[in-house]
Amino acid sequence: MNSLPSISSVAFLIADPTRAAMLLALLDGRARPAGELAYAAGITAQTASAHLSKMLEGGLLLCEKEGRHRYYRLAGPHVAQALESLAVIRPSIRRKPLSRLAKDLHMARCCYDHLAGQLGVAVTQALVLRGFLVPAEEKRYDVTSAGARWFEAMGIDMPALKPTRRGIARQCLDWTERSHHLAGPLGVQFMATLCASGWLRRSKSSRLIRVTPQGWAGFKEQLGIDSQSVACSSPT
């Protein structure tokens, strides 16, 4: 069976700058109303509606109804993974200096439902260095017995995690750092636990993640990383 027509149609949907902006606004895994997505893309609500319909038909989005309101979200982690992978491909062109928000997003952000950016990569590298995670085939991470004990001590119920076909831990290529961060069920629960413990705070309006003073102290104690070392570890 020829898969080229499917690839080309999905590529066409993502290639439009307006639709790409709306998709990127949904990368934190949350559902958002059409008006908010229209604002993110800088278009009218009527124009946004047409774009959303195309992406729904193309399988990129799902729509949830709450009363008279409709909320849109990515169709699943596979869409988020595709977007992040495409974002890694960057042409060699001169770029304007990053804005304050862009720099903050590079430092720490949501990648659909797990931690990404400089912090996400640094944390993952520290987990590998300490022998808690071991890179495996098919872009997986194996969790060692020491790692399972560490995650349990952090407040994660490891036996309760339901593995996907790639297990409970997956390598996700970070589009700004061009290195891997932790994804999969363990990555999702890890970020949720860090937020619940007060180490991280999610922005209500974007994918931005803020690290609290308590969080930096915890990362330093548990993994030996701080804000300065995280920022310096980013590739140019």
Q: What angle do CA 123, 192, 157 make, to 5 degrees?
A: 90
Query: How confident is residue 236, by pLDDT bands cut at 50, 70 and 90?
Result: very low
pTM of the model: 0.73
- pLDDT for the residue 90: 64
- For the chain, what is the mean pLDDT? 88
Task: Reduce the DSSP state of residue 171 to 3 states and report it.
Answer: strand
What's the pLDDT at 106? 87
The amino acid at residue 236 is T
Structure confidence at residue 28 (pLDDT): 77
**Confidence (pLDDT) at 93:** 46
Q: Which domains does the chain have, with CATH numbers?
A: 4-75 (1.10.10.10), 100-232 (no CATH)
Weakest-pLDDT range from 59-68, 99-108, 110-119, 139-148: 99-108
Q: Residue 2: pLDDT above 50?
A: yes
**Model confidence at 155: pLDDT above 90:** yes
Q: Please give the pLDDT value at position 197.
A: 97
State the Cα–Cα distance between residues 208 and 199, nearest whole angstrom: 14
